[in-house]
Amino acid sequence: MITELQLLSLLRHSIYRASATEHEVERQQLLGNASLLVNELLLRNSRGFFVDFYNEGAALAQEGMALAFDLDIDLGDTGAELSSLPGAMPSNSTADDSHRLIYDLWAALNALVALLPPGSSGAAGDYLDRLNQWEVEIYAHRETMAPEPDLDTVTEAVFTADAFAEYLKQKFPEWKGLEIHDFFQIGGGFSKQTLLMDVEDEVNGKQGLAVRAQPSRNILALPLTEIDDEYHAVRIAFDEGVTVAEPLWLETDTSFFGTKFLVSRRIFGRNLGDARGATEEVTDAMVASLAAEAAKVNAINLSAHIDSLSQTPLAEWCRLKTVEEATRFNIQFWRELTVKESLAKSPLLERGFRWLEENVEPCQGTPSLIHGDIGLHNVLIDNGAVTAVLDWEVAHIGDPAEELAWLLACTNAYATRQRLLEAYYQAGGKPISEFRLRYYEVLMCLRMPIAALGMAKKLEVQLDSPQLAIFALRFMHANSSRLVDAIKAAEAVRT
C-alpha cells in the first residue's frame, strides 16, 4: 500500500525538482499529477467512507463463510483468518491503520475467492459479483475530487543535450560539426525514459532521433522488459513492414549514462489517449489504420525470426504450438507475475484468474506475435493514420484475439466491435471467435490492476515518481469495474 508518508515524500520531492524544468507543457502535466496526489491525501481524511467500506466488506466476509458452509467447502485456515478480523472498523484507527485493515480483509477474501466457483451463476456467482462491486467502490472513490492546492512537480532528465552530444562524438567521430537542438524528455511514459532531439552534422545533415532508455528499476518483469530484448522485437517488426520507428542502434555500454538504451528515428505524431482509452475523437480511418497495424504484427512469420527471438525471453513462448497452449501459458504468466512481484492480494484478480483458467477455448490454430499493448497511448497518429507503434515490452506469442480486445477497449467509444473486426479482417487478420474476443476482455480487466499494483510496489523502494503513484492509485477503476460484466458477456456467447 502507498502510505500517507510516502505520498507526502513524493510531493516534497516534486516541489524540490519543479524549478529544474524549462518546458511549460511538462510543468503543467506534472502540476496536474501533484494535484492528484494531494487529492488522494485529502480523500483519505474522509473517514466515513473507509469505515463504511470496511464494515461492508466485513459483512461480505461473514456472508462468504456462510456460503462456503452451504456449499460444503472446507475453509480451513482461511476461515480462521476471516474470523480473526474485526467485525467493524475500530474507532481509533488512523488513515494508514484503516488502509492496512482493508488490505488484510482483501487478503483474507482473496483466499476465500480461491475456494469458490468463479462463474456468474448461482449463489456463488451472485456473491462474487457483489464482492467485486464492493472492491471497485474504493477505486471509484479515488476518482472523486477534493479541494486542490497548487503544487509544482517535475521529473529531472538523466540525459542532457551536452552529454548526449559528447556521446555521439565518441561513437561516431566521423560526424563532424555535430550539434543537438530541441532536446527534451517526453512526459507520460511509465516503463522507460524517452527523449527526442534533432541532431545535425556534416555527414548526415539534420536528423531527428529518439532515445528509449532502460530504467534503474523495472515496474514489472514483462516479457520484453529489458531494452535489448525489446530491440529484437522492434527490429523484427520494422523488417516485416509494421509501422514502427526505424531502430538505428542498441547501446549496451552503460559507461556513458549508467543504463542501456535504444536509438531510433524520430517519428512525428501524437497519442490520442491514455492507458484507459481515448481522450479525443477516433475516426473510422484511424480505427482502420490501427486494425491494419495489429493485423501486420499478428501476420509476422515467427519461424523466419527464431534466431533473433531465441536471444530473448520469447524463446520459451516460441515453443508453444497452439493458440490454446499459448493462452494457458499467457494466463499462467500473468498470475505468476503477481506472485513473483509480491503484489497486494485482490479478490477481484483471484476471481478473474480462476475464471480464465477454467474457460480456455480449445483452439488448435498457430499462435501469433502479439504486441500486447497496442492502445492509443502506444501509437502515434498523424493525418488520420498510425505513424508509429511504440513500446513493445509486453510483446509475446499468443492469440490475436488479445490484440483486438485491447484495441476495442481503447476505441470502444468510437468504434463498434463489428467495425473493428471488419477492418482487421480486411487487413488480412485471421478469423476470431466471439468467445475468444470476450475471453480476452476479461483478461484486460486484470492487466491494468496488475500494472497499477506493480507501480504501487515499486514506490516502496523507489520513491521518486509522482506519476507512478497517480497510475497506481487512479488507473485501477476503469478496467476492474468491468470485470463482472465482462465475465457475464463471455459466458453468454460460450458455446
Query: For residues 36 and 386, which has the higher predicted lDDT (pLDDT)?
Result: 386
pLDDT of 190 reads: 59
Say which CATH topology domain 279-493 has: Aminoglycoside 3'-phosphotransferase; Chain: A, domain 2 (3.90.1200)
Q: How far apart are CA 29 and CA 32, in angstroms?
A: 5
Q: What is the structure's pLDDT at 16?
A: 66
Q: Domain boundaries in the chain?
A: 47-141, 279-493
Given a cut of 60, is residue 189 above it in pLDDT? no
pLDDT at site 187: 63
Average pLDDT for residues 186-195, to the nearest whole number?
Answer: 73
Q: What percentage of the chain exceeds 70 in pLDDT? A: 93
At 71-86, the pLDDT tens digits run 999 999 999 999 999 9
Q: What is the mean pLDDT of the chain?
A: 88
Nearest alpha-carbon partner for 320 in 368, 370, 371 = 368
Residue 369 confidence class, pLDDT cut points 50, 70, 90: very high
Cell 480476452 -> residue = 440
Stretch 201-209: mean pLDDT: 96
470, 459, 417, 312: which is closest to 9 by C-alpha?
Answer: 459
Which range (15-29, 85-99, 360-374) has the least confidence?
15-29
On the question of pLDDT at 277 being above 60, the answer is: yes
Contact 321, 363 (CB under 8 A): no
Tell me how far apart the 2 most distant CA atoms of the chain are, in Å: 80
Q: Span 263-279, mean pLDDT?
A: 85
Distance, C-alpha 246 to centroid of its chain: 24
Higher pLDDT, 216 or 379: 379
Whether 289 has a pLDDT exceeding 90, the answer reads yes
Q: Check pLDDT > 50 for residue 279.
A: yes
In this prediction, residues 191-219 reach a mean pLDDT of 90
Does residue 465 have a pLDDT over 70? Answer: no
> What mean pLDDT is predicted for residues 43-51?
82
The predicted pLDDT at position 87 comes to 93
- What is the pLDDT, as a whole number, of residue 156? 39
3-state helix, strand, coil in the chain (%, to 5): 55, 10, 35
Question: Is pLDDT at 359 greater than 80 in this prediction?
Answer: yes
Per-residue pLDDT, 225: 92
What pLDDT shows up at residue 157? Answer: 43
Single-letter amino acid code for the residue at 408? L
3 state SS of 381: strand
Return the pLDDT at 176: 96
Grade residue 4 by pLDDT with cuts at 50, 70 and 90.
Answer: confident
pLDDT of residue 76: 93
Query: What number of other Cβ atoms are within 10 A of residue 93's Cβ?
Result: 17
Give just the sign of the alpha carbon dihedral 96, 100, 101, 105.
Answer: positive
Mean per-residue pLDDT for 87-111? 89
Report helix, strand or coil for 435. helix
Decide: pTM greater than 0.85.
Answer: no
Mean pLDDT of the 139-159 span: 61
User: pLDDT confidence of 148, banded at 50, 70, 90?
Assistant: very low
Tens digit of each residue's pLDDT (9 = 90 or more) over 15-33: 666 666 677 777 777 777 7
**Which residue pairs from 83-92 have beta carbons closer than 8 angstroms and sit at least 24 positions apart in sequence?**
85/58, 85/61, 86/58, 87/55, 87/58, 87/62, 88/51, 88/54, 88/55, 88/58, 89/50, 89/51, 89/54, 89/55
Q: What is the pLDDT of residue 58?
A: 96
Q: Which of 38, 24, 47, 32 is nearest to 96 (CA)?
A: 47
Percent of the chain topping pLDDT 90:
63
The pLDDT of 344-359, averaged and rounded, is 96
Across 93-102, 232-241, 463-472, least confident range:
463-472
Provide the pLDDT for residue 459: 73
Region 389-400 average pLDDT: 96
- Give pLDDT, residue 462: 61
pLDDT value of position 17: 67
Gap between the Cα atoms of 293 and 296, Å rounded: 5
Residue 222: closest CA among 99, 356, 333, 344: 333
pLDDT at position 153 is 40
